[in-house]
Amino acid sequence: MTDPIPMRIISSGRTVTGKVRRNNEDNLWSGTVGDVTTMPGDCDVEGLSTYPGFLLAVADGMGGAKAGEVASRIAVETLARSIADRVGDGTGTHGEPADLGKASVHEANERILRDGERDATCEGMGTTLTVAWLVGRHAELFQVGDSRAYLFRAGRLEQLTKDQSLVGKLIEDGILSEEEAERVAGRHIILQALGSEEALDVVHKRVALEKDDVLLLCTDGLSGLVRREAMEAAMRKHPVLSDACGGLIELAEREGGTDNITVLLARVQA
C-alpha cells in the first residue's frame, strides 16, 4: 500500500491571534496518527511516517462569537480521531489513504453541522481545513477552503494547493493575475468550507517527499499578507523549524497582522 521505508519527521507549529482580532479562531494539529496524547495547539513533535503515518492539519474557523474557534477545533480533532479509527490495526488493509482521508474530512464536516444544530451560539459556524498525512515516503494532501500547503525544497518554496476562494478561481481561470488579485475587495471570500450543507469537494493531491524537504501548512493570516518570495527567504534564513515559525509570524505581523496567524512546519529528516 505504501513505501516500506519510513521517514523520520520533526514538526513545529505556532498559532497567534494577530494584532487586530480579539479571538484566535485558528487551530492546528501535529502528531503520529492514533497518538491519544496529542492535542491541538502550539507543538513541537517528532515521529515516523510508518503506516498509519504522521498527521498535520491547520484550520481557520469562522462564525459568530467564538463559534469559529469551536469549528476549527472540532475539525482537527475529528479528523485525527477519524483517521485513527479508520486505519484500525495499522496493517493498511482498511483502504487507501486518499479514500480514508476524504472520508475523515467529510466526518468532520458532519460533526460541525450536528454541533451547530444543537447549540444556537454555534449555528452557521464553519472552517477551512488543510491536511498533510505523511505515509511511507509521500504526503497525502487534503484541502477544503483557502488554507495552504507549500513544499520547501533546496531553498525554493512551491505552493502545492490552490485557494478555493472567489479570487483563487478568477486567477485559475486567467481573469486576474496574482498582483491584480491583491487589490480586489472581498478576496478572502471562500467557495466552500466545513460546516456547509452543500456537498464538499475535498481536493486531494499526492506528493513524493525527499530528505530535507519541509512542508509548510498555514492559514491566510500568513499567506494573505506575505508574498511567497518573502516566506521563502524566511525559510532559508531560519533552518530551525521553531525559529522559522516565529520568523514567518513576524512577517505577517509586520504587514499588519490583520488576521489570526497559524504556521505548521514539518521536516523530513531521513
Distance, in Å, from the CA atom of 156 to the CA atom of 199, rounded to the nearest integer, reads 35
pLDDT of residue 190: 85
Residue pLDDT tens, the chain, 270 long: 445 578 999 999 999 999 999 999 999 999 999 987 777 889 999 999 998 999 999 999 998 667 999 999 999 999 999 999 999 755 555 678 999 999 999 999 999 999 999 998 898 999 999 999 999 999 999 999 999 999 999 999 999 999 997 666 656 656 666 665 565 555 667 889 999 888 899 999 999 999 999 999 999 999 999 999 999 999 999 999 999 999 999 999 999 999 999 999 999 998
Please state the pTM of the whole predicted model: 0.92
Contact 122, 113 (CB under 8 A): no
d(CA 132, CA 145): 14
Confidence at residue 41, expressed as pLDDT on a 0 to 100 scale: 85
Q: How would you classify residue 12: left for phi > 0, otherwise alpha for psi between -120 and 50, otherwise beta?
A: beta
How confident is the model at residue 99, as a pLDDT? 95
pLDDT at site 61: 96
* CATH topology (fold) of 8-161+193-268: Phosphatase 2c; domain 1 (3.60.40)
Amino acid 187: pLDDT: 60
Question: What pLDDT, on the 0 to 100 scale, is given for residue 165?
Answer: 72
Phi, psi for residue 49 in degrees, rounded to 5: -90, 10
Which pLDDT score is estimated for 109? 97
- Report helix, strand or coil for 83: helix
Quote the pLDDT of residue 270.
81
**Cα separation, 76 vs 130, whole angstroms:** 9
| DSSP for 27-76, written as a single string | EEEEEETT-TT--SSSEEEEEE-STT-EEEEEEEEESSTTHHHHHHHHHH
